[in-house]
């Protein structure tokens, strides 16, 4: 049975629908051919996003995956190596694109919930020599998806970036959910992004835009990325229709992410009382809740679907719940009841 109205969808914050204000903005958007650089709404979105994250320029792309890959293509050469966490989105969920598109090797860093140390970075950098791929770029993910929405604070980010720069590496920040990190820490996005050369940020997750992400960075790097966007088929012509929703997302939706974080904490606290699931409420930093189940996760997912609740399994006996604009506190309470029943069999 397909999901639809009345379902409680906790699979991801990517399932959010555009708000009425976004739909109006899309219908009324001033557009032009963005491949020619003539779409005024796209240009406004790029300028505002670059300003928010403290970078000189930005390029609008269809997806976060494309934005991450443009960052790699624009800052590396074939045969280089990049440093990423062992469960980073770039490595885990982007279809092998670093190897397939940019010809890169990924050297995997350890660390709980997606966070590693400056020492981890220093130890992973290859020595110079013809036997080794040059280590070229450090990638950090904030918040960390498979880490359950874990946040890097500004000091931790600065420390690993300094270790990378000391060895001549560039730094890319996969900030798909950087908006959540900023709200969770109570700081501006630019402070969290300052140590990075390039930053990828998404509009289509918790901010509810129907599509679109931006890669931000120095002028020359973004110019190279724009050329690669064309090569990968990411030029979208009258893209202002989508960019208009993105502007609403930036201007109206960022601060309300605190509601999603509160709902995630509510879910975790309520589920902690259910004997057939395991959850650590102290682990919830943003809008994701990771739980363990006594019953096989696939069975729990199927049982929940039968009760009108959608979640994703992340392992044989683990689930992930993601709160967002389209799931209210009341819906979260119903989800707790359904999960308690489903997890008990």
Residues 185 and 330 in one domain: no
Q: Residue 2 domain-assigned?
A: no
Residue 344 pLDDT: 86
* Residue 180 and residue 150 share a domain: yes
- 275 lies in a domain? yes
Query: Is 172 a domain residue?
Result: yes
Shared-domain flag, residues 297 and 165: no
How many domains in the chain? 2
At 3 the pLDDT is 56
Same domain, 238 and 272: no
Identify whether residues 221 and 117 lie together within a single domain.
yes
* Residue where a domain stops, chosen among 226, 252, 278: 252
202 and 119 housed in the same domain? yes
Write out the residue range of the structural domain in which residue 284 sits: 8-15+256-344
| 152 and 211 assigned to the same domain | yes
Instruction: CATH number of the domain at 324, please.
Output: 3.90.1150.10
Q: Of 228, 252, 276, at which residue does a domain stop? A: 252
Residue 306, helix vs strand vs coil: helix
End-to-end CA, the chain:
21
Residue 215 inside a domain? The answer is: yes
| Structure tokens belonging to residue 165 | 């720069």
Give the count of beta carbons closer than 10 Å to the beta carbon of residue 194.
Answer: 17
pLDDT tens, the chain, 345 aa long: 345 568 999 999 999 999 999 999 999 999 999 999 999 999 999 999 999 999 999 999 999 999 999 999 999 999 999 999 999 999 999 999 999 999 999 999 999 999 999 999 999 999 989 999 999 999 999 999 999 999 999 999 999 999 999 999 999 999 999 999 999 999 999 999 999 999 999 999 999 999 999 999 999 999 999 999 999 999 999 999 999 999 999 999 999 999 999 999 999 999 999 999 999 999 999 999 999 999 999 999 999 999 999 999 999 999 999 999 999 999 999 999 999 999 887
* Nearest-angstrom CA–CA distance, 315 and 321: 13
Domain co-membership, 336 together with 247: no
Structural Rg of the chain based on CA atoms: 20
Whether residue 3 lies inside any domain: the answer is: no
Q: Are 208 and 229 in the same domain?
A: yes
Distance between CA atoms of residues 311 and 300, nearest Å: 9
Are 177 and 262 in the same domain? no
Task: Check which CATH number belongs to the domain holding 229 and give it.
Answer: 3.40.640.10
Q: Are residues 185 and 93 in the same domain?
A: yes
Same domain, 71 and 183: yes
3-state secondary structure of 197: coil
pTM of structure: 0.96
1 falls within a domain = no
Q: Smallest Cα–Cα separation from 229: which of 97, 76, 64, 61?
A: 61
Last residue of a domain, one of 182, 217, 252: 252
């Amino acid at each position: 049975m397909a999901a639809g109205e009345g379902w409680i969808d906790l699979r991801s914050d990517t399932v959010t629908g555009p708000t009425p204000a976004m739909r109006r903005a899309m219908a009324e958007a001033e557009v032009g051919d963005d491949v020619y650089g003539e779409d005024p709404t796209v240009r406004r979105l790029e300028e505002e996003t670059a300003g928010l994250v403290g970078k000189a320029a930005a390029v609008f792309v269809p997806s976060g995956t494309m934005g991450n890959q443009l960052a790699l293509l624009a800052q590396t050469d074939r045969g280089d190596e990049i440093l990423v966490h062992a469960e980073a989105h770039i490595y885990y969920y982007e279809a092998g694109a670093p190897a397939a598109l940019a010809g890169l090797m990924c050297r995997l860093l350890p660390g709980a919930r997606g966070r590693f140390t400056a020492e981890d970075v220093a130890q992973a950098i290859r020595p110079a020599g013809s036997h080794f791929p040059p280590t070229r770029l450090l990638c950090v993910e904030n918040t960390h998806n498979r880490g359950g929405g874990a946040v890097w604070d500004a000091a931790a980010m600065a420390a690993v970036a300094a270790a990378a720069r000391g060895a001549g590496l560039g730094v890319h920040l996969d900030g798909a959910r950087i908006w959540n990190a900023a709200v969770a820490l109570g700081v501006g996005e630019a402070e969290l992004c300052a140590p990075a050369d390039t930053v990828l940020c998404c509009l289509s997750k918790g901010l509810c835009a129907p599509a679109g992400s931006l890669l931000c960075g120095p002028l020359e790097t973004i110019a190279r990325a724009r050329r690669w966007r064309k090569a990968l088929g990411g030029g979208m012509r009258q893209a202002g229709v989508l960019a208009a929703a993105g502007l609403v997302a930036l201007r109206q939706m960022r601060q309300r992410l605190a509601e999603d974080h509160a709902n995630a904490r509510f879910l975790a606290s309520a589920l902690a009382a259910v004997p057939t699931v395991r959850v650590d409420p102290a682990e919830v930093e943003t809008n994701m809740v990771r739980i363990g189940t006594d019953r096989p996760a696939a069975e729990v997912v199927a049982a929940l679907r039968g009760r009108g609740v959608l979640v994703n399994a992340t392992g044989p006996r683990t689930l992930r719940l993601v709160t967002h604009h389209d799931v209210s506190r009341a819906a979260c309470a119903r989800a707790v009841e359904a999960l308690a029943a489903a997890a008990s069999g």
